[in-house]
């Protein structure tokens, strides 16, 4: 009788492949699932939400707050809560070849883009913007001048105001030399939401291209996970020497981890 140890059965080619890439595949699937159903990153590309959000801020969007949207449909799972006035929301719009913006449901055939704005108007609200003042259901939204200024990338000196939007107190900017987009008294239809940037006179928002649906909202932005004032080509990130410059000269460490109000 032989005392040799029994040999393990030979693995099939598919088993060998799974042993090699299975862990990686599970990790990728988990990451994609988190992005699709839990949180999603977003980078701020413009100044429309100054001073709340700066160009180069990187934030997380909470995708299950308004109910996770099922892929390839307009249906959502049960929400934690409804969208609220004052939320900072990432949402989809569409853009034509000339750069014109439209709500998704007006031209679903066009390429999609993502915006971030503050939710101003809820279904059934009457919203008006006149001479720089915001009115919600006939009442002027309280705003005070802080006496501070904010310099944007084009070296414009903007006045900083403090707005109380139904209990949500946040900063807004005013360009004293121009009047921003206005909006005649408009009653929002059922299921439609009106979005505006905090940089009120220099924001491309619902005053120009209209309202959006809940189905087009990704969710509320809730925290900054990274921030830098660098806007160079991504190819530069392949140079390790550039990493030190970014980390020491261009990273805004004081903003990392800040909650978004």
63, 69, 117, 218: the catalytic one is 117
Q: What one-character-per-residue DSSP string does 137-166 give?
A: TTEEPEEEEEEEEEE-TT--EEEEEEEEET
19 in Cβ contact with 11 (< 8 Å): yes
Annotated active-site residue 48? The verdict is yes
Say whether 33 is catalytic: no
DSSP string computed for 180-196: ---EEEEEPPTTEEEEE
**90, burial (CB in 10 Å: exposed 0-12, middle 13-18, buried 19+):** buried
Give me the catalytic one of 48, 203, 206, 227.
48
Contact criterion met (CB below 8 Å) for 186 and 122? no
Contact 171, 161 (CB under 8 A): yes
CA distance 126 to 139: 10
Tallying the residues shown for the chain, one arrives at 261
Spatial contact of 45 and 53, defined as CB atoms under 8 Å apart? no
Catalytic residues: 48, 117
């Amino acid at each position: 009788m032989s005392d040799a140890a029994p040999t393990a059965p030979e693995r099939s080619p598919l088993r060998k492949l799974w042993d090699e890439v299975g862990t990686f595949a599970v990790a990728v699937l988990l990451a994609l699932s988190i992005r699709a159903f839990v949180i999603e990153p977003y980078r701020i590309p413009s100044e429309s939400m100054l001073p709340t959000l700066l160009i180069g801020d990187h934030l997380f969007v909470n995708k299950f707050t308004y109910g996770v949207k099922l892929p390839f449909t307009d249906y959502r799972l049960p929400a934690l809560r409804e969208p609220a006035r004052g939320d900072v929301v990432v949402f989809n719009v569409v853009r034509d070849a000339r750069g014109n913006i439209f709500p998704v449901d007006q031209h679903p055939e066009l390429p999609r883009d993502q915006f971030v704005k503050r939710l101003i108007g809820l279904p059934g609200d009457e919203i008006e913007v006149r001479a720089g003042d915001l009115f919600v259901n006939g009442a002027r939204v309280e705003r005070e001048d802080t006496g501070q200024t904010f310099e944007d990338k084009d070296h414009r000196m903007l006045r900083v105001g403090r707005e109380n939007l139904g209990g949500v107190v946040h900063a807004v900017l005013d360009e004293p030399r121009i009047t921003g987009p206005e909006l005649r008294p408009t009653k929002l239809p059922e299921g439609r939401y009106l979005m505006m940037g905090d940089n009120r006179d220099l924001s491309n928002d619902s005053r120009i291209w209209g309202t959006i649906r809940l189905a087009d909202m990704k969710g509320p932005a809730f925290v900054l996970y990274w921030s830098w004032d660098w806007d160079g080509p991504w190819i530069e990130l392949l140079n390790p020497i550039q990493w030190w410059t970014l980390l020491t000269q261009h990273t805004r460490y004081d903003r990392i981890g800040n909650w978004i109000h």
